[in-house]
Amino acid sequence: MPQTGQRVDPFGSYDFLVEIDGIVRAAFQEVSGLDSAIDVTEYREGAVNNTMMKLPAKVKYSNITLKWGSALDHDLYDWHRQWVNGDPAATRRHGSVILMDRAGQEQIRWNFVNAWPVKWTGPSFNAKGNDVAIETLELAHEGIARA
């Protein structure tokens, strides 16, 4: 029987890296917000009475949310504090979310530009549980593209 094609399995969502200019972080539990949407402007056309015409408008990007287990490093928190304190040295940074394959090789990269931290959330504590203490940082940015 002839073969019709080679099977190509999708990548798992559990093996990824995050790079942000000048900030090195060993591991993240979760990354979300890799999306974009185009607003739609509707208008009426003079000769078309039964439907609205549509045009593309502005592009919007969701904030990227990073979650990680609290540890001794505090580079991401320090970056956020610079913005909270109005530090003139606070800078926007470029970064990437990188999806790896099972062999640890880079397969897909999403690059974001001009990001800055807009919200930091510290861990929740519960003496009855045994969960890892998780910190969260939201990054606003001005664009993301799959490379």
What would the pLDDT profile of 35-48 be if each residue is shown by its tens digit? 999 999 999 988 87
Q: Could you tell me if residue 139 is inside a domain? A: yes
Q: Could you tell me if residue 4 is inside a domain? A: no
Cα distances from 13 to residues 29, 32, 65, 105, 121, in angstroms, run 11, 11, 15, 14, 23
Q: Could you tell me if residue 115 is inside a domain? A: yes
pLDDT at 2: 63
Average of pLDDT values for 6-14?
89
> How many domains is the chain built from?
1
pLDDT at 106: 94
pTM for the complete prediction?
0.88
Q: Could you tell me if residue 11 is inside a domain? A: no
Rounded Cα–Cα distance for residues 87 and 85 (Å): 5
Q: Are 57 and 41 in contact (CB under 8 A)?
A: yes
Average pLDDT along the chain: 93
Q: What CATH number did the domain enclosing 25 receive?
A: 2.30.110
Q: Could you tell me if residue 5 is inside a domain? A: no
Q: Could you tell me if residue 8 is inside a domain? A: no
Query: 131 lies in which domain range?
Result: 16-146
Q: Could you tell me if residue 9 is inside a domain? A: no
pLDDT at 35: 97
pLDDT at 3: 66
Q: Could you tell me if residue 10 is inside a domain? A: no
pLDDT at 21: 92
Residue 26 pLDDT > 80: no
Higher pLDDT among residues 3 and 67, named by residue: 67
Rounded Cα–Cα distance for residues 36 and 34 (Å): 7
pLDDT at 1: 56
pLDDT tens digits along 78-102: 999 999 999 999 999 999 999 999 9
